[in-house]
Amino acid sequence: SVGLRRLADLVAEGKLAPHSSVERPWGEIGQVAQDLIARRFPAKAVLTLD
């Protein structure tokens, strides 16, 4: 979409710095989901592919 492309451009240009609280491997998705539901961290979680 146009909006998503614009967001990606802003990040690439260094004009927007998205914040994430945690970065975990995809294999930990269950624990990350539980932590999100329990509000154990204040922002988004990033899951990486192993």
Other C-beta atoms within 10 Å of 5: how many? 9
pLDDT of residue 39: 93
13 has a pLDDT exceeding 90: yes
Q: What residue segments make up the domains of the chain, in order of their start?
A: 19-50
pLDDT of residue 20: 83
HEC string for 1-50: CHHHHHHHHHHHCCCCCCCEEEEEEHHHHHHHHHHHHCCCCCCEEEEECC
Confidence (pTM): 0.62
Nearest CA to 24 out of 36, 12, 14 is that of 36
